[in-house]
Amino acid sequence: MTDSADGTRTETLREPTPAAARDIVARGIDREAIVTVYGRCTVDYEGRASSRLEAGARHVMLKPDGAALVHTDEGQQPVNWQPPGCTHDAVCEDGELILESVRSTPDERLRVRFREVLQVSAFSGTDENELALVGTEEDLRQRILEDPSVLEAEFTPLATERETPAGAVDIYGEDAAGRAVVVELKRRRVGPDAVSQLRRYVDALERDLHADAAVRGILVAPSVTDRASRLLTEHGLEFVSLEPPAE
Amino acid sequence: MTDSADGTRTETLREPTPAAARDIVARGIDREAIVTVYGRCTVDYEGRASSRLEAGARHVMLKPDGAALVHTDEGQQPVNWQPPGCTHDAVCEDGELILESVRSTPDERLRVRFREVLQVSAFSGTDENELALVGTEEDLRQRILEDPSVLEAEFTPLATERETPAGAVDIYGEDAAGRAVVVELKRRRVGPDAVSQLRRYVDALERDLHADAAVRGILVAPSVTDRASRLLTEHGLEFVSLEPPAE
DNA sequence: AATTAAATTTCGTAA
DNA sequence: TTACGAAGTTTAATT
């Protein structure tokens, strides 16, 4: 057990007995630590789908918010997991450590059985700061609202998140001729799905306004794929190349 | 350092000096171990977007496939990360441990600077087994192909992944009357996006066949949202409620 | 609790 | 390498 000046505390055991491992895990969950276990284990999941993973060396993390992560040596994504909101539990059964994370709505259960525990740790610390991220779709929207002419000359934004029967439109406005314009924003290169999305909004707004004059639809993104480009043409929609600001 | 009978090996230091931590990390990367570092750190990311995270206690994992994960005590997702394919590097700068993961195409860089390292570990093990998952869209497709009558009486599947100018159709077939049918499968409750997707395929196929008889479009999913249901009606598409098999 | 769409989505497959 | 769509997607916002 180690206590640091800043309140950070860690507890670690190498090759613990299953009972000792269970104690560290249980105590860690109790004090709202990040708990990690590395060893050979099997994993069973039952919930929205179901899965089984035979024995292998994996790294398991239990978070105090109820999230659980099982990582192999490959992939950015955990091979098995449980979202925040679960209740963690650690028990010994037949001389083996078992970790279980359960939630309801939907009912889901993750069960990790360790044949061998190489290391178990509990990490307590504080993290006050949140991520500052730049380059999102929201940043792209700000860029256009601050200077609508980057979209086209004399474009006038009238609303953001304007509601239609098909959902909320990113930017709603009118052009130099006073025609209604629906703008759909994407922070990166788009495919057919983005075109369909814009199409839904344009359709919905045309019905909503029941105006005879057609509503213009403009897709704003860094670039489009060939198929998306063809779809835009078919549906009479437009494209403007813009990127979210880099900083 | 601990070596197990099954070839699993772990190496861990508590409150190491930055230089000692760097050595463990560098050696771990070298031997293709999963490397973890817990401590107070700042994180900078620059790539598809860019972000900064001020000091806090976090858990960092470097995988031998090049993936990097920075986890706080909250959330299933890492607060910062790098996908597989990166090159990891560990250095000491001004007496602090710095981890860096870099890749190209696209150019991306993740930099973690530790003010304090509480624990550093390197885990080597083997994992031969892959996840066996049941309840996917593929399982739903198998269910329909094995007994097409679950979709509707006298439905005849003719192809899966049939190509159209709008993309591949999940199941293509014909009904009792010999009309062309496009089936789009979803393993869970669907919203407007799935309807748009089906619509794209039906449109494309109607042009492709340039037949006068309309192509039927059937969305297969456990259920649909209200908005999606309305969209289905508007577009003359159909819905059949089916779930992927549970086991 | 349910809906909708964004995400540094990731991941797998096919061209 | 790019494109396209699935995913036990997760996450955030709004109803």
State the pLDDT confidence band at B108, using cuts at 50, 70 and 90. Answer: very high
State the pLDDT confidence band at A247, using cuts at 50, 70 and 90. Answer: confident
Strands B96-103 and A132-134: unpaired
CB atoms < 10 A from the CB of A138, how many? 15
- From the CA of A173, how many Å to the nearest CA of chain B? 23
Nearest to A119 among B63, B121, B244 (CB): B121
Nearest residue: Cα versus C1' of D2: A225
| Torsion of Cα atoms, A149 then A152 then A156 then A161, to 10° | -100
A89-103, B135-149, B196-210: least confident range:
B196-210
d(CA B96, CA A70): 30
Q: pLDDT at position B209, please? A: 84
State the pLDDT confidence band at A222, using cuts at 50, 70 and 90. Answer: very high
Q: Where are the beta strands (DSSP E) in chain A?
A: 2-3, 9-14, 34-46, 50-62, 68-71, 80-82, 87-93, 96-103, 108-124, 132-134, 156-164, 167-174, 180-185, 216-221, 238-241
d(CA A118, CA A14): 6
SS3 B236: coil
CA B22 to chain centre: 31
The answer to whether some atom of strand C lies closer than 7 Å to the beta carbon of B45 is: yes
SS3 B28: helix
Nearest to A12 among B81, B119, B230 (CB): B119
Q: Is residue A9 scored above 80 in pLDDT?
A: yes
- From the CA of B52, how many Å to the nearest CA of chain A? 5
**What's the rounded mean pLDDT across residues B64-73?**
98
- Neighboring chain B residues of A58 at a CB cutoff of 8 Å: 125, 127
> What DSSP designation does B49 have?
S
Q: pLDDT at position B210, please? A: 79
| Shortest CA to C1' contact from A80: nucleotide | D8
State the pLDDT confidence band at B194, using cuts at 50, 70 and 90. Answer: very high
- Given a contact cutoff of 8 angstroms between Cβ atoms, the answer to whether A14 and A119 are in contact is yes
Q: Is residue B156 scored above 80 in pLDDT?
A: yes
d(CA A96, CA A118): 13
- Neighboring chain A residues of B113 at a CB cutoff of 8 Å: none
Length A244 CA → D13 C1' (Å): 21
Tokens 């437009």 identify what position?
Answer: A238
What percent of chain B has pLDDT above 90?
A: 91
Is the pLDDT higher at A201 or at B247? A201
List residues bridging with A17 in a β-sheet: none
Under an 8 A CB cutoff, do B118 and A121 touch?
no
User: What are the helix (H) ranges across B67-191?
Assistant: 137-146
Strand D footprint nucleotides (protein C-beta < 7 Å): 1-12, 14
d(CA A227, CA B167): 9
d(CA B30, CA A200): 52
**What's the rounded mean pLDDT across residues A55-68?**
98
Domains of chain A: 2-124 (2.70.180.20), 137-241 (3.40.1350.10)
Residue of A nearest to B13 (CA): A12
- Neighboring chain A residues of B129 at a CB cutoff of 8 Å: 53-56
d(CA B183, CA B171): 5
Q: What is the pLDDT of chain A when averaged over all its residues?
A: 96
- Summarised one tens digit per residue, pLDDT across range A21-49 is 999 999 999 999 999 999 999 999 999 99
State the pLDDT confidence band at B202, using cuts at 50, 70 and 90. Answer: very high
- Neighboring chain A residues of B39 at a CB cutoff of 8 Å: 8
Q: Is residue B28 scored above 90 in pLDDT?
A: yes
Length A240 CA → C12 C1' (Å): 31
d(CA A202, CA A196): 10
Q: Which of A221, A77, A133 is nearest to B47 (CA)?
A: A133
Q: Is residue A212 scored above 80 in pLDDT?
A: no
CB neighbour class for B195 (10 Å; exposed up to 12, middle 13-18, buried from 19): buried
Q: pLDDT at position A114, please? A: 98
State the pLDDT confidence band at B211, using cuts at 50, 70 and 90. Answer: low
Nearest to A118 among B2, B67, B192 (CB): B2
**What's the rounded mean pLDDT across residues B73-78?**
98
**What's the rounded mean pLDDT across residues A2-6?**
69
The answer to whether some atom of strand D lies closer than 7 Å to the beta carbon of A189 is: yes
d(CA B15, CA A157): 55
Nearest to B73 among A34, A73, A76 (CB): A34
How many CA within 13 A on the CB side of residue A229?
Answer: 8
- Given a contact cutoff of 8 angstroms between Cβ atoms, the answer to whether B227 and A167 are in contact is yes
Q: Which of B115, B96, B39 is nearest to A8 (CA)?
A: B39
CB neighbour class for A13 (10 Å; exposed up to 12, middle 13-18, buried from 19): middle
Under an 8 A CB cutoff, do B8 and A36 touch?
no
What percent of chain B has pLDDT above 70?
A: 98
**What's the rounded mean pLDDT across residues B127-138?**
97
- Alpha-carbon distance values, A188 to B48, B134, B162, B197 (Å): 9, 33, 28, 20
CA B211 to chain centre: 39
- From the CA of A219, how many Å to the nearest CA of chain B? 16
Q: What is the pLDDT of chain B when averaged over all its residues?
A: 96
Q: Is residue B5 scored above 80 in pLDDT?
A: no
Q: Which of B40, B20, B25 is nearest to B101 (CA)?
A: B25
Q: Is residue B56 scored above 80 in pLDDT?
A: yes
- The residues near B152 (Cβ < 8 Å, ≥ 6 apart) are B175, B218, B240
